[in-house]
Amino acid sequence: MPAQAPGKYYGSEPRPFPNELLAFSWAALAQELGVTEDGAFNMAWIAVDRHVAAGRGERIAFRFLGEDERRSELSYRELAQLSDRFGNALTALGIGRGDCVFLLCERRCELYVAVLGALKIGAVVSPLFPAFGPEPIRNRMAQAGGKLLLTTSSAYRRKVLPIREQLPALQHVVLIDDLGAGPQAATLDWDSLLDAAPDRPALVPTAAADSALLHFTSGTTGTPKGALHVHQAILSHYATARQALDLQVDDVFWCTADPGWVTGMSYGILAPLAIGATSVVDVGDFDAVRWLTLLEREGVTVWYTAPTALRLLIKGGPGLFAGRHFPALRRIASVGEPLNAEAVAWAEASFGQTIRDTWWQTETGAIMLANTQSAKPGAMGRPLPGVVAHLVRRRGDSAVDGLESPEMLGEKGEEAVGEAVGELALETPWPSLFRAYLGQPERYRACFAGNLYLSGDLVRRDADGDFWFVGRSDDVIKSAGHLVGPCEVERVLMAHPAVAEAGVIGKPDALAGATIKAFVTLKHDVVASEALRSELLAHARRQLGPAVAPREIAFAECLPHTRSGKIMRRLLRARELGEPEGDNSTLE
Ligand code: 6R9
C-alpha cells in the first residue's frame, strides 16, 4: 500500500488528476468562462450566449428524441434567441428578478428554452417532476410562492386546475401545447407569447450570488425542503463535469436524469452547455431496448446515469446486447445511490467501459467525490480538486445537536487521511453550495458546523483515501449494539449472482434493538425458492458475519424507489411495520 503524501487529500498513488486540474482555482475558472470584473454574472449567458459571442453559435446544444422517433436539434444560437424571447415575454408579464417560475412538463424543447430564458431575467427556476400529482405540486408551489407555471394542457387540466385556487401567488399559467384541448380559460399560449415578444437580448444584470435555481428534496420527516442555488453555481457545474465526467466540447453527452431532479438540471442542462457539448435529450422513460438503441445510434460518448437504470439493464439479461456495438462510448458515470461492484464488472463486460461513481447531493449542487482515474469498483472515489472532505462524528447523541465542533476522525493536523468511518463533511464554501432551505432557516443552520457542511451520509475512508458509502445517517441500523449501514448489507447481497437489487431495513426487536431484514429482487431468469433463501442467508452470513448479516430475507417483485432512483428504505420499513407511509411525493 503506498504511503500517504503529507498534506494531500487525494493520496499519492495513483494520481487521480492531471496537473492542470490540481492547479485549478475558482477565480481562474471564472475568468475562463468570461466573467468580467463589473460584477454581472448570469449562468444562462455563460451556458448559452457566451458560445454565440465566441462564434460557436452553430454548434448543436440539444438533440431532442421524441416518443415516435421524431428528432429535432437546437443550436446554441437558436437556444440563445428563443430564450431571449421567453425572457422578454416573462418581463412583459411582470415577472422579474427573484420571482419563482415553475416548470411541469416532459423533457421537450420548451422546457429547456424556459429554464434559460427565466434565468436570463433573474427569475428563480424550479423544475418539478412531470409525474408529480396535484399535492406535491401544490406543496412546492405554495412554499415558494410560484408566480408562473409552464406546463402542458393535459397536466394543467388533471393536476393544476384542481389546486389553482390554493395557489394565490400564481399569476400566470403558460401552456406549451394548446392543441386539441382548445384554449383554456386563464391560461396563456406558448406560441402566441413568444411570437409577441421582442427578440432583443433579454439579459437583466444579475450577480453571482443572486438566486437562480430551487430544487426540492425530501427529508425523512417534515415537508419537502427547497434548496436554493445561486448563479455562480455554474462554476461548479462546469469544473466538475470536466473533472469527474471528462466532458469536452466535442462530446455527445447523455444525462438520463429528468430536470425535476437536481442531476437533470446541473448535468442535464447547465454543465454540458457551459462546456459547449451536444446533449441528447430523450423524452421517454426507462426502456432497456430504447436506451441501448439510443446509446448506439446517437453515438453517445459520455453517459451519466444511475444505478437503478443500470441494474434494470442487467436484469434484462445479456440477450439485450446481441449484435450491438458502442464504439463511441468512452465514459460511463453514475450517481444517486450506491453503485455495486457487480454492476461495474457487468458494464466492463457489456460496454467495454467501467462505470465511474460520483457522489453529491441536491444541497452540494454539483459532484463532490468521484472515481476518476483510480476507479475502485464499489467505491465512490475521492474529493475533486477544490473539495476538502472530512469525516466527523457529531458530539452529543442527537442528530442535530452538538454541532458546534464535531470531532474530526482520522485526522493528523491539517490532514484528512487514514482509515475511518464517519459522517461526510465538506469545507465551505464552493460556488454550488446551497444558500437556503426556503423558509426553513433552522433546518438550514443545522446542516453546518463552523466551516463544515454536514452531509448526513455515513462514509468509510479506506487507507488509500478512497471513500465508500455506508448509509444515510438516518437509515442506519443499530442491531445488538452494532451500527449497520444498510448499504453494506445490500452490497453483499447484490454480489450474489441471483440477486438484482436489495433493500435493507432494521426491524424493531425487543432483544437486539433491531434485527436486519432484507428485501431482494431476483435476476430475470432466477426463480425464488426456499433453497435460494437459505443460500442467500448463508452467503450474507459468510460475507458479513452474524452480527451484520440479515436475519430475514424476503423476495420482492420490485422495490420502492424515488424518482431519482434511490431505494426508499423508509417505505419498506413503514410497510413492514404497518406504519403510515409519510410523504410519498417522490415515489416512482
Ligand atoms: C445527486 C443526488 C443525495 C443522496 C446522498 C446519498 C445518495 C448520491 C451517491 C449516493 C451512494 C453515491 N447518493 N450519490 N449514495 N453512492 N454515489 O443524488 O442528490 O437526490 O439530493 O440525493 O443520495 O445518500 O446524500 P439527492
pLDDT in tens, 136-151: 899 999 999 999 999 9
Question: What mean pLDDT do residues 429-439 have?
Answer: 96
Residue with CA at minimum distance from ligand 1 atom 5: 361
Q: Taking a C-beta distance cutoff of 8 angstroms, is the pair 571, 581 a contact?
A: yes
Please provide the average confidence, as pLDDT, over all residues in the chain: 88
Nearest ligand 1 atom to the CA of 362 is 21
How far from chain centre, in Å, is Cα 79? 24
Whole-number Å distance, alpha carbon 565 to ligand 1 midpoint, is 10
Q: Which helix (H) or strand (E) holds 425?
A: strand 420-427
Q: Residues enclosing ligand 1, CB less than 6 A?
A: 217, 262-263, 335-339, 357-362, 380, 455, 457, 469, 472, 564, 566
Residue with CA at minimum distance from ligand 1 atom 10: 337
Report whether pLDDT(386) > 80: yes
Nearest ligand 1 atom to the CA of 564 is 20
Write down the pLDDT at residue 18.
Answer: 58
Number of Cβ within a 10 Å radius of residue 75: 18
Question: What mean pLDDT do residues 433-462 have?
Answer: 94
Please state the pTM of the whole predicted model.
0.86
Question: What mean pLDDT do residues 85-107 have?
Answer: 97
Q: Taking a C-beta distance cutoff of 8 angstroms, is the pair 166, 139 a contact?
A: no
Question: What mean pLDDT do residues 256-270 have?
Answer: 96
If one compares 88 and 476, the residue with the highest pLDDT of the two is 88
The pick from 469, 470, 475, 562 for probing ligand 1's pocket by mutation, whose C-beta has the most ligand atoms within 8 angstroms, reads 469
User: What gap in Å lies between CA 123 and CA 206, rounded to an integer?
Assistant: 10
Write down the pLDDT at residue 175.
Answer: 96
Nearest ligand 1 atom to the CA of 227 is 21
Characterize the bridge pairing of strands 278-282 and 60-65.
parallel
Whole-number Å distance, alpha carbon 334 to ligand 1 midpoint, is 10
Q: Which helix (H) or strand (E) holds 13?
A: none
Report whether pLDDT(474) > 90: no
Report whether pLDDT(402) > 60: no
Nearest ligand 1 atom to the CA of 263 is 1
> Widest CA span of the chain, in angstroms?
71
Nearest ligand 1 atom to the CA of 363 is 21
Alpha-helix residue ranges (DSSP H) falling in 417-568: 441-445, 486-494, 530-544
C-alpha cell at 44: 444562462
- Per-residue pLDDT band at 544 (split at 50, 70, 90): confident
Question: What mean pLDDT do residues 372-396 have?
Answer: 86
Number of Cβ within a 10 Å radius of residue 324: 13
Whole-number Å distance, alpha carbon 160 to ligand 1 midpoint, is 30
pLDDT in tens, 314-366: 988 899 999 999 999 999 999 988 898 999 999 999 999 999 999 999 999 99
Question: What mean pLDDT do residues 380-388 have?
Answer: 93
User: What gap in Å lies between CA 373 and CA 356, rounded to an integer?
Assistant: 9
Residue with CA at minimum distance from ligand 1 atom 22: 361
Whole-number Å distance, alpha carbon 39 to ligand 1 midpoint, is 33
Write down the pLDDT at residue 46.
Answer: 97
Q: Taking a C-beta distance cutoff of 8 angstroms, is the pair 328, 300 a contact?
A: yes
Question: What mean pLDDT do residues 576-587 have?
Answer: 81
**Residues whose CB is less than 8 angstroms from the CB of residue 68 and which lie 6 or more positions away in sequence, other chains included:** none
Whole-number Å distance, alpha carbon 201 to ligand 1 midpoint, is 37
Question: What mean pLDDT do residues 194-221 have?
Answer: 90
Half-sphere exposure of 321 (CA within 13 A, CB side): 14
Write down the pLDDT at residue 43.
Answer: 97
Report whether pLDDT(555) > 90: yes
How far from chain centre, in Å, is Cα 118? 21
Report whether pLDDT(13) > 60: no
Report whether pLDDT(11) > 70: no
Nearest ligand 1 atom to the CA of 456 is 25
Long-range contact set of residues 472-479: C-beta below 8 Å, sequence gap at least 24: 473/399, 473/423, 474/220, 474/399, 475/569, 475/570, 477/504, 477/505, 477/506, 477/514, 477/516, 478/506, 478/513, 478/514, 479/506, 479/509, 479/512, 479/513, 479/514, 479/515, 479/516, 479/547, 479/548
pLDDT in tens, 502-516: 999 999 887 777 899
Nearest Cα residue to 22 out of 247, 237, 239:
239
Report which residue type is found at 58: E
The pick from 358, 360, 368, 437 for probing ligand 1's pocket by mutation, whose C-beta has the most ligand atoms within 8 angstroms, reads 360
How far from chain centre, in Å, is Cα 16? 23
User: What gap in Å lies between CA 379 and CA 204, rounded to an integer?
Assistant: 43
- For residue 429, whether the previous peptide bond is cis, meaning omega lies within 30 degrees of 0, is yes
- Per-residue pLDDT band at 478 (split at 50, 70, 90): confident
Whole-number Å distance, alpha carbon 449 to ligand 1 midpoint, is 21
Whole-number Å distance, alpha carbon 309 to ligand 1 midpoint, is 15
Number of Cβ within a 10 Å radius of residue 349: 10
User: What gap in Å lies between CA 70 and CA 254, rounded to an integer?
Assistant: 17
Write down the pLDDT at residue 313.
Answer: 92
C-alpha cell at 388: 476538502
Characterize the bridge pairing of strands 225-230 and 211-217.
antiparallel
Range picked from 26-40, 54-68, 307-321, 537-551 for highest mean pLDDT:
54-68
CA distances to 218, 223, 258, 505, 513 from 568, in Å: 11, 16, 19, 10, 21
Write down the pLDDT at residue 413.
Answer: 41
Q: Taking a C-beta distance cutoff of 8 angstroms, is the pair 294, 280 a contact?
A: yes
As a whole number of Å, the CA-based R_g of the chain is 24
Nearest ligand 1 atom to the CA of 469 is 11
Whole-number Å distance, alpha carbon 145 to ligand 1 midpoint, is 28
Percentage with pLDDT > 70 across the chain = 90
Whole-number Å distance, alpha carbon 73 to ligand 1 midpoint, is 31
Whole-number Å distance, alpha carbon 360 to ligand 1 midpoint, is 6
Q: Which helix (H) or strand (E) holds 342?
A: helix 341-351
Q: Taking a C-beta distance cutoff of 8 angstroms, is the pair 294, 320 a contact?
A: no
Write down the pLDDT at residue 397.
Answer: 43
Poorest-pLDDT segment among 280-289, 317-326, 407-416, 469-478:
407-416
Sheet hosting strand 355-359, strand order edge to edge: 71-75, 60-65, 278-282, 252-255, 302-305, 331-334, 355-359, 369-370, 382-383
Percentage with pLDDT > 90 across the chain = 67
Whole-number Å distance, alpha carbon 319 to ligand 1 midpoint, is 31
Residue with CA at minimum distance from ligand 1 atom 15: 337
